[in-house]
Structure 1
Amino acid sequence: MTARSDAEIRNWQQSLWFIACAAVLLVQILTEYIMGRVPICTCGYVKLFEPVVNSSGNSQHVADWYTPSHIIHGFLFFGLTHLIMRGKPLSMRLSIAMLIESGWEILENSPIIINRYRAATISLDYVGDSIMNSAMDAVFMVVGFLFASHAPVLVTVAVAIFFELLTGWLIRDNLTLNVIMLLWPVEAIKTWQGGL
C-alpha cells in the first residue's frame, strides 16, 4: 500500500467513528421520544439560554446553568479515554464518550432518576429534560471533549474549576454538588441550596 492509501484508510475510519457518534446521538433522541419526552419546551418556543434555575424553562431550552457540567463531562471523558485508550483515534474515543453521555441522558430522563432528583435535591419540580435540551447536553459534552483534546491540561482544569465555582456561586449547584446529592444526599447542602 502507498502512504496515500494508508492516509485515506485512516480518514475513512475516522469518518466512520464520527458517523457512529452521530448515530448514538440519533438513538438517544429516538429513545427519549419513545420514552415520551417532549421535543421542546412545552412553552412552545426555544431560547438559546434559560437563566432561571427554578423555572419551568430550566432543562428545556438549548442551554442553561447546567450546560457547564456537560462541558466538564467532555473534559472528564477525554481524560478517561486518554488514559485507557491511549493511541486510539480521537474519533473512536469521542464515540465512546458519546455512548456514555447518551446513556446517562437516557437514564437521567427516566422516572427512577427524575424521582431521585425530586427526593434528594432541591429540584422538587424537575420533570426531566426536553429532547432538544438533552441532545444539546450531549453536544456540549462533545464541545468539552474537543476543547480538552486541544487545550493544555492546566487550562482544561482551570476552566473546569472556574465553571464549578461560577455555577456554585450563581445557582448553588454544579457538577460536584449534583453528584454528591444524587448519590449521597447531604441535608446541609440541600438546606444551603434551598436558600436561593
Structure 2
Amino acid sequence: MSAEARNSTRFWLTIAALLLLAQIAGEAMMGRVWICTCGTVKLFEPAVNSAGNSQHIADWYTPSHIIHGFLFYALGWAVLRRARLAPRLTLAVLIEAAWELLENSPLIINRYRATTMAVGYAGDSILNSSMDTVSMVAGFFFAARAPVWLTITIALFFEILTGLLIRDNLTLNVLMLVWPIDAIKQWQGG
C-alpha cells in the first residue's frame, strides 16, 4: 500500500473513531447512563425482559448489530464501489452512530414501549450502545472478508436463532417499530 493510501486509510479510520466518540458524547449529553444502574458490567446479559437488557457489553440484540455491519458493508459496496474499505466503514459507522443516537431518544424509546415487546425498555447504556457500534464494525469487517453466501447464511442463522430463543430479531424489531402487528406483539409477549 502506498504512503498516500495509508494516509487516506488513517484519515477515514480517524473519522470513524471520532464518529463513535461523538455518539458516546451525544448519549452522555442526552443523560444516558454509562453502565447498568445495577452497578455491574457483564459480558452478556441473557435476560431479555429485564432491567439489565441493553445495559451490558452484549445481549440478544448483538447479532442484529452484527447484521447491520453485513448490510452496511453491502450498502458501502453499492454506493461507494470505487472507494477503499476505510471510507465505506466510515459511512457504516456514521449510519450506526446516528441510529444509536435516535434509538436512545425519547421518541424511539417510547415507540418501542408502545409497539414492541419491550414494555419496560429504558434505552441503552452508553457502554451497550457503543458496543453495538463495535459489533456493527465486526460484522462489517466479516462481510468484507467472507464469501457472500457465508455472510447471508450467518445472518439467517442469527435471525432464526434469536427469533426462536427470544421471539425477536432484526426483522421483527424493524417491522414492529415501523408497522406494528398485534398478533406478533401477542406472540412475542409469550
Same fold by TM-score greater than 0.5: yes
Q: Does 1:139 align with 2:134?
A: yes
Root-mean-square deviation (Å): 0.7
Distance 1:81 1:23 in 2: 19
| Correspondence for 1:12 | 7
Cα deviation, residue 84, structure 1: 1.0
| Correspondence for 1:125 | 120
Cα deviation, residue 122, structure 1: 1.3
Q: Choose from 27, 33, 40 the match for 1:32.
A: 27
Q: Choose from 151, 154, 166 the match for 2:149.
A: 154
State the percentage of identical aligned residues: 62
1:33-182 correspondence runs (5 A): 33-182=28-177
Which string of whole-angstrom CA distances, capped at 9 and with x for unpartnered residues, describes residues 42-85 of structure 1?
A: 00010000001011000000000000000000000000110111
Q: What letter is aligned with 1:36?
A: G
Q: Give 4+ residue runs of structure 1 displaced > 2 Å after superposition.
A: none
| Correspondence for 1:3 | none
5+ long unaligned stretches in structure 2: none
Cα deviation, residue 146, structure 1: 0.2
Distance 1:56 1:20 in 2: 33
Q: Larger Cα Rg: Structure 1 or Structure 2?
A: 1
Distance 2:20 2:117 in 1: 29
5+ long unaligned stretches in structure 1: 1-5
TM-score normalised to structure 1 length: 0.96
TM-score normalised to structure 2 length: 0.99
Distance 1:63 1:122 in 2: 19
Cα deviation, residue 150, structure 1: 0.1
Cα deviation, residue 87, structure 1: 1.5
**How many residues are matched?**
190
Secondary structure of 1:61 counterpart: coil
Cα deviation, residue 193, structure 1: 0.2
Which string of whole-angstrom CA distances, capped at 9 and with x for unpartnered residues, describes residues 80-128 of structure 1?
A: 1101110201000000000000000000000000000000011110000
